[in-house]
Structure 1
Amino acid sequence: MVSDEMRKKFKTNLKKIMALKGKNQSDIVKALNFKQSTVSDWLNGKKYPRMDKVQMLANYLNVDIIELVDNQSNDSITFTNTEKALIKNYRQLNEQNQQAVTTMINSLLAVENSTFEKDAVG
């Protein structure tokens, strides 16, 4: 499920990149054959695009997909190529499978933390 924060960050990133590239909403609609209302919803933070659409936007704007979807301050985090690929793949999953991945990660972290605590005590 896409959070309000994710929609807001995507909207902000998309507007910033469009301004830097000298592109407007009509340019995107025409070049990528998207519906005007859909692009408007993205730019107003009402909707979040599917990852295939995000990739098309990134290609059109000649930026890395992470520049559109990154929910962190650019100063605070840098993603490796593996992390970028994982994020891209995760966002292509349906909500149920995203939850399964989250559950698996949390389980693995619990095991690692448990092992770490045992090592620290012993």
Structure 2
Amino acid sequence: MGQEEICAVFARNLNKLMIRENLKQSDLVLKLNVSKAQVSDWCAGKNIPRSNYLASLVDLFGCQLSELMSEKQPAPTNEDGLSEDDKRIIELLHQLTPENRERIVEIIKALASQ
């Protein structure tokens, strides 16, 4: 796997974890004390963080390094409590840009508060 592919896999996984934890790029900037440009590049798949930031991300998300760096993620089991509809929604969310995911989150919050 080349550097470009590694960056793309990392970006997909990072964006998934950010959605799971309801974090924005600006939250990572504050929590990791990094620049907006660094986080933007990570999320866009332009590069990956240095090892000290990878360790901080693992701590922040409570995940394994493989969840950030590996292309293959463990498939959810039936015991995960997710319905088939939930799984379809999650899959579709992962295909959106970070900006569009944030818009969807705001819509869901508005609907949930009705």
Q: Same fold (TM over 0.5)?
A: yes
Report what 1:56 is aligned to: 56
Report what 1:15 is aligned to: 15
The sequence identity of aligned pairs, in percent, is 32
2:13 alignment partner, SS class: helix
Report what 1:30 is aligned to: 30
Q: Radius of gyration: which is bigger?
A: 1
The Cα of 1:65 is off from its aligned counterpart by 1.5
Q: Distance in 2 between matches of 1:64 and 1:14?
A: 12
Determine if the alignment matches structure 1 residue 66 to structure 2 residue 66: yes
Q: Distance in 2 between matches of 1:38 and 1:22?
A: 19
Q: Distance in 1 between matches of 2:62 and 2:38?
A: 21
TM-score by length of 1: 0.56
Counterpart code for 2:53:
K
Report what 1:41 is aligned to: 41
Q: Distance in 1 between matches of 2:20 and 2:7?
A: 20
The Cα of 1:2 is off from its aligned counterpart by 5.7
Q: Where in structure 1 are there 5+ consecutive unaligned residues? A: 76-122
RMSD of Structure 2 on Structure 1 (CA): 1.7
The Cα of 1:71 is off from its aligned counterpart by 2.7
Q: Any runs of at least 4 consecutive aligned residues in structure 1 with deviations exceeding 4 A, and if so which?
A: none
